[in-house]
Structure 1
Amino acid sequence: MVDAFCAKWKLVQSHNFDEYMRVLGVPFATRQFGNVTKPTVVISRDGDKVVVKTLSTFRNTELAAKLGEEFDETTPDDRHVKSTFNMEGDKFVHVQKWDGKESKFTREIKDGKMVMTLTFEGVQAVRTYEKA
């Protein structure tokens, strides 16, 4: 159930994020911002929609959609993608699709922390968040 993720989360650890962004095609200067930014992620529910807010000094984003329902998203690096939120067992999964490509964010709760694994073309980054 997505309710387990509904909280305010602060990034505390990041592994291989620069490589993930590089493979996505994110420009060098933007990657530098991405590497030093420590975003706060707020996950909540609004009726039957899941709301994911990402707050940082670089850029704030807000996504809201029903589980399993495709929606349009403009990523922080300005890609226009078709996205979906789903629950896969106890994992909250966010998939982005564009130009025949796919990126996947898999969030799970481990030892009270939210661990997000980002996957694109065989490259994985892991970002760990603690409740804020």
Structure 2
Amino acid sequence: MATFDAQKFVGKWQLSESENFDAYLKAANVGFLARTAAKTIKSSLEFIVDGNHWKMISTSTFKTTTLEFDIGQEFEHETIDGRKMKSTFSIDNNKLVQLEKHTKSDDKDSRLERYVDDDKLIIDLECDGIKAKRVYTRA
């Protein structure tokens, strides 16, 4: 098995395709207006890695959000649509895995797996048994 190479993530990525994203957002209890906006927005991601410390910047015409985290340490954050969550990132089988835990009873937990395959960044998302996929290409 190859060792995890965080540097593969570094740089800017542009959303190129999305599968079942609306159903995933609905399962995560994201409101109708935010889901509608999310379907039409072409977002970009940028990763900056310094040792164990990561910065992930998500940019769209709607909003820019930055997640800063250390692998293995839980932290609180707000999702693009305003839900308050707790996340922990880990490395598993060459994937950057994010376990997102709800802080309010009407929100839901999610699992996001990010990995680089050739020149694509792939994000597999799952909430309440509903799976989605987002594919980004290098910008």
The alpha carbon displacement at 1:111 in A equals: 2.7
1:3-33 deviation digits (Å, cap 9, x = unpaired): 2111200000001001111111111111111
User: Are the counterparts in 2 of residues 2 and 87 from structure 1 also a CA contact under 8 Å?
Assistant: no
1:50-100 deviation digits (Å, cap 9, x = unpaired): 000000011110011110011111111211111111111210111110147
CA distance in 1, matches of 2:22, 2:69: 28
Unmatched runs of 5 consecutive residues or more in structure 2: none
Report the RMSD for the aligned CA atoms in angstroms: 1.4
CA distance in 2, matches of 1:114, 1:47: 20
1:28-48 deviation digits (Å, cap 9, x = unpaired): 111111000111000112453
**Partner residue of 1:108?**
115
Stretch of structure 1 that moved more, 19-28 or 32-41: 19-28
CA distance in 1, matches of 2:84, 2:32: 19
User: Are the counterparts in 2 of residues 11 and 38 from structure 1 also a CA contact under 8 Å?
Assistant: yes
**Partner residue of 2:78?**
74
Superposition pairs of residues 9-88 of structure 1, within 5 angstroms: 9-46=13-50, 48-88=52-92
Moved over 3 A (4+): none
Task: Give percent identity, aligned residues only.
Answer: 33
CA distance in 2, matches of 1:95, 1:17: 18
1:96-116 deviation digits (Å, cap 9, x = unpaired): 101474201101112320110
Structure-1-length-normalised TM-score: 0.93
Stretch of structure 1 that moved more, 88-97 or 120-129: 88-97
CA distance in 1, matches of 2:132, 2:112: 9
Q: Secondary structure at the match of 2:73?
A: coil
Unmatched runs of 5 consecutive residues or more in structure 1: none
Structure-2-length-normalised TM-score: 0.89
